Structure 1
Amino acid sequence: MDLRAIAEEVWRHQVDATEMQKLTERYPGLTVADAYEIQRLNTDRALSQGDVLAGWKMGLTSRAKQVSVGVEEPIYGRLFRSQELTDGELSLAGLIHPRVEPELAFVFKHRLAGPQVTARDVWLATECVMPAVEIIDSRYRDFSFTLVDVIADNASFARFWLADQAYSPYHCAWDEVGVAVRQNGEVKQTGAGAAVLGHPVRAVVQLARMLAQVGQAVEPGMVVLTGGITEAIHLHRGDEVVVDFDGLGELRLNIRD
């Protein structure tokens, strides 16, 4: 199986924002390891073209989602600097069927690496925690995919946006932070940090341990999106989405052409 050719196909659909058929329908032998290799190959391509690896994102961080796809651990993808929003204006250009979800982002001052990383290690390595949103946008037709497919598609990553205000890692109990997502004035989703593996720090622990298996690490300055606190909501042209993080302020996203 030519993983480079498959990676080229995925890359083309990501760049062109065009839907594709599930890889697993055409390459039934494709494994999770293959999918992460496809993700890595496309990371190398992005970096060779001048992009910067800004950090990592976690997916499938709710137990219900894990059960629904038959896995026992989350998945991860890469964040790229070129896809970081600097304000609340989101253009639909380059997106197929985008959705938004609220997250808590950890930003690191020290390297986090190894198969035995603990929550204590994460706190000691963390510079700050920031409210964030992630825009996800599967390149697969009808937003339908298997575990292998979504990993190969960089865990559906499209854009991310961090709040202006950062907080000490010890500012509050992050599992108790409540979040409400309003779309055009109507509350669409609510949740709390505990929706992410019981506590968002556990997502970072699992990420570090998973990265250790492939010789990777969370480097100083990197951002880690710990996973969606609520279900993602669909975005449409003209929408205003306000994500309110209890006691931490809000992120206001305006959707335009």
Structure 2
Amino acid sequence: MKFNDKKTGTESMDLHVIAKEIYSHQKSAVEMSKISTRYPSLTIEDAYKIQEINTEKELQNSDQFVGWKMGLTSFAKQQSVGVNQPIYGRLLKSMEMSNQELSLDGLIHPRVEPEFAFLMNKKLKGNNVTEQEVWQATEGIMPALEIIDSRYKNFSFNLIDVVADNASSTKFFLSEQIYLPNKFQWEKAQVRMKLNGKVVQEGKGSAVMGNPVRSVVELVKMLDSSGLCIEPGMIVLTGGITEAIHVFSGDSIEVEFDELDKMNLTVIS
């Protein structure tokens, strides 16, 4: 896909070429410079197209598309990275961790954040979806950890950069415990993160757009603008409940979801 930069009148880019560059850095775990500075006429729609191109590449290599993730779902989180709206990314089966060991192989500067994962059992689509419809379509909710890892130098990016980089998606780890949607008041659920035995982050479910269900509502509406939807069986990560913490080899992470579950990660080289 090529188009003319209206500001300069010159042909500026091919989205497949940009996607290939980002993909190579995702695979090599080598930092790259921001694409937004080199391609200033890129739009948010272009960025999501780049994300889609690279996901299709993975699917052609026998990976599986298992769901969606929301990012930047709190005002504080948006401020911390200099953006002003939530974003979404795509989740693949290869991203799901099967045990408590987080290998740094293939990662650049990983960070860990606690989330809630919604398991959906009905299709959700359209621009008028309600919270009630999301609850009715939710099979269950699981505590989860997401490992994010921007491919950009110094973990520095703008909205277009991060969307094109699949919203910094890298890995996710789901609790074995799954809870009925009406089991708790999810906005009141307290979460505490410990790094090497010391509490470093605390938060509650309301940090995610006031209530994690609203993150799913927003996702459905955002997807609808591109003709997409949530399919039955998909997982939705609703966004960080606390700030993400930077982790290194040898670190031990313990996350307490009060009244729910306790999750642990050990970081290895």
TM-score band, normalised by the shorter chain?
A: over 0.9
The answer to whether the aligner puts 1:195 opposite 2:207 as a matched pair is yes
Question: Where does 1:78-227 land on structure 2 (aligned, <5 Å)?
Answer: 78-227=90-239
Rounded to whole Å, the distance in 1 between the matches of 2:117 and 2:47 is: 25
Q: Secondary structure at the match of 1:107?
A: strand
What corresponds to 1:25 in structure 2? 37
Report % sequence identity.
54
What corresponds to 1:251 in structure 2? 263
Q: Which amino acid in structure 2 is aligned with residue 96 of structure 1?
A: I
Rounded to whole Å, the distance in 1 between the matches of 2:44 and 2:110 is: 24
Rounded to whole Å, the distance in 2 between the matches of 1:133 and 1:200 is: 15
Structure with the greater alpha carbon radius of gyration: 2
Rounded to whole Å, the distance in 1 between the matches of 2:139 and 2:224 is: 21
Question: Where does 1:23-62 land on structure 2 (aligned, <5 Å)?
Answer: 23-62=35-74
- Residues 19 and 50 in structure 2, CA contact (< 8 A), matched pair in contact too: yes
Q: Secondary structure at the match of 1:170?
A: helix
C-alpha RMSD of the superposition: 0.9
Q: Which amino acid in structure 1 is aligned with residue 165 of structure 2?
A: D
How many angstroms does 1:25 deviate by?
1.3
Q: Which amino acid in structure 1 is aligned with residue 56 of structure 2?
A: D
Q: Which amino acid in structure 1 is aligned with residue 110 of structure 2?
A: P
Rounded to whole Å, the distance in 1 between the matches of 2:25 and 2:16 is: 14
Rounded to whole Å, the distance in 1 between the matches of 2:55 and 2:200 is: 34
How many angstroms does 1:87 deviate by?
1.2
Q: Which amino acid in structure 2 is aligned with residue 244 of structure 1?
A: E
May I ask how many residue pairs the two structures share in their alignment? 256
Q: Which amino acid in structure 1 is aligned with residue 244 of structure 2?
A: A
Q: Which amino acid in structure 2 is aligned with residue 39 of structure 1?
A: Q
Q: Which amino acid in structure 1 is aligned with residue 169 of structure 2?
A: F
Q: Specify every segment of 5 or more residues in structure 2 that has no aligned partner in the other structure, as ranges.
A: 1-12
TM norm structure 2: 0.94
Q: Specify every segment of 5 or more residues in structure 1 that has no aligned partner in the other structure, as ranges.
A: none
